[in-house]
Structure 1
Amino acid sequence: MLKACALQFRGDWDEKLPLMEFAYNNSYQVSIGMSPFDALYGRQCRTPVYSDEVGEHRLVVSEDVELTRKQVQIIRERLKIAQDRQKSYADNRRKDLQFEVGDWVFLKLSPWKGVVRFGKRGKLSPRYIGPYEIIERVGPVVYRLALPADLARLHDVFHISMLRKYISDPSHVLEEQPVELEADFTYVEQPVQILDWKTQVLRSREIPLVKVLWRSHTVEEATWEPEDQMREQYLHLFE
């Protein structure tokens, strides 16, 4: 939502970003019944309106505060527009995703790259396995699936966001699920090939990078990874 708002300012979005964060954190959120600032600190945010100085300096400060107040008001209006647009997209998608007992669906997995950049594991685009039959509608947006024996240790109830409708087609070639699937349906993806090399030049150093093709993903989904980390974990790719 913040990104959608920033795009509306284009030329000076980076200058307005602090005000966008301020406006968002001090705007009422229906989901929590208060503003994020109020939820964190137990009160609404207080900002200085006037300076303690007198005379011309006080007048200048007052004009700056008034200008800031008007900018925040504009930003709040644009945040509301972005929020309404996102809600509309979400509502339309929720209406489309309706399943019945007996339907067959794919199940979404979240593959992770087995390398760490900037202290975080990188996430690849979702992958789907299945199809599996819906055997029970547990709630308005929650379904129970008939999972195969090799997935019996995993919970068989899923939110609708993890499902994609399957339309039977004899030409479909379906892949088997990963062997080391976690309880939250994530798994560590494996690299299969180095496609390219380049060097990222920073102010004080250079970082050699390699373009990696991951299993079950297309060339378009290949990612750039630090060469030293890839060599440490996947030396066979460089032999």
Structure 2
Amino acid sequence: MGQLHPLPIPEGRWSVVSVDFIVELPKAHGYDAVMVVVDSVGKRAHFIPTHTTCTALGTANLYRKHVWKLHGLPDAFVSDCGPQFVTEFTRELYRLLGIKLSTSMAYHPQSDGQMERVNQELEQYLRVFCSKWRDDWDDLLPEAEFQYNNHIHSATKYTLFMLDIGWNPRMGFEPRPLNSNNETANEFFERMKLVQEEAKVALAKAKDNMARYYDQRRIPAPEYKPGDCVYLDASDIETKHPSKKLSHRYLGPYTVERQVGPLAYKLRLPRSMSHLHPVFNAVKLRLAPLDPIPGRRARPPPPPTLINNKEWFDVEDILDSRIFRRKLQYKVKWKGLRLRGRFLEPVENVAHARDLVREFHRRIPTLPSRSRGCSSWTRRFSVRARAPVHRGAAP
């Protein structure tokens, strides 16, 4: 469900950066994870050895040491680690660099497919070339990074080095050119500009093709309006339920506050879920029916009736009567409140239902009434009149 909405193509290189992790690898010189950083335009990647337990602060340190010194600060980050991780990671990176600036964050769980592809290629490379004991994969990361950045990308039709630095690094076994080409700075600038524009066109075409093939087997995501009640997919949410398999697949229902993007909605979450970011993708939501099981969810009671400028709730039936602390009380079934709407009310609260009271005593004349057990019935019945107050359920 939900059509593909690819990320927009950024204006320049390293302006939008994707960050992801390959975790739980075999131990190699103290490392068990790889931090993968990819440029969204040029697709050039950096592979950095790290640990599975790396925090947002540790990620910011790694980015500063290995990526920032080469490419500077981006305009936005994209990560499948979650919007809270991206926010904290960016805050820590700016703190380390001594910069007081707020940036826009991006979190597109349905659109950031390039990271999955890069991770697959890196895992395949390490699987082929690492030793039998799988304890030297960290030493292979420089070669893996060079190999990945030196191949022709299927979307841009250029090598990733060419798009990023303007030439392909020398490997040592290329044929030596007969004539050396010395281009001026203006020629280099124009060539890089042309290459970048061609790469953007190729990326746009690749994204369109990807979206077209992706949408062939999917229906458009439903649109929700403020006030709609939706269920939230619980597959990515940690709960206190002891069994993940037997816990609820959906949580809620929760109320939609507003739409914040083409496929993103902000929900009104309870206080117990305040640690979650309230904005979710439409693929995580499902419209909650008004009455999933007929009769299970009680309908709201009807509004009161105005009699002599007083609000009175409609009485459906009189069920019982008793004397409590020398006062007459009736067990009343209020209209529209179903089984839970049976309350013990003082006599003055049923003053507008005289016909039902008479009918009740005609059926059961032995129970307390205005003539049996309460001498002040007539005075209260005719003088006092107010809207009923539900004090408690009948025993």
TM-score category by the smaller chain?
A: 0.3 to 0.5
Q: Which structure: greater strand fraction?
A: 1
TM-score (norm 1): 0.32
Q: Which structure: greater helix fraction?
A: 1
TM-score (norm 2): 0.22
The structure whose Rg is larger is 2
Higher relative contact order (CA 8 A, sep 6+): 1
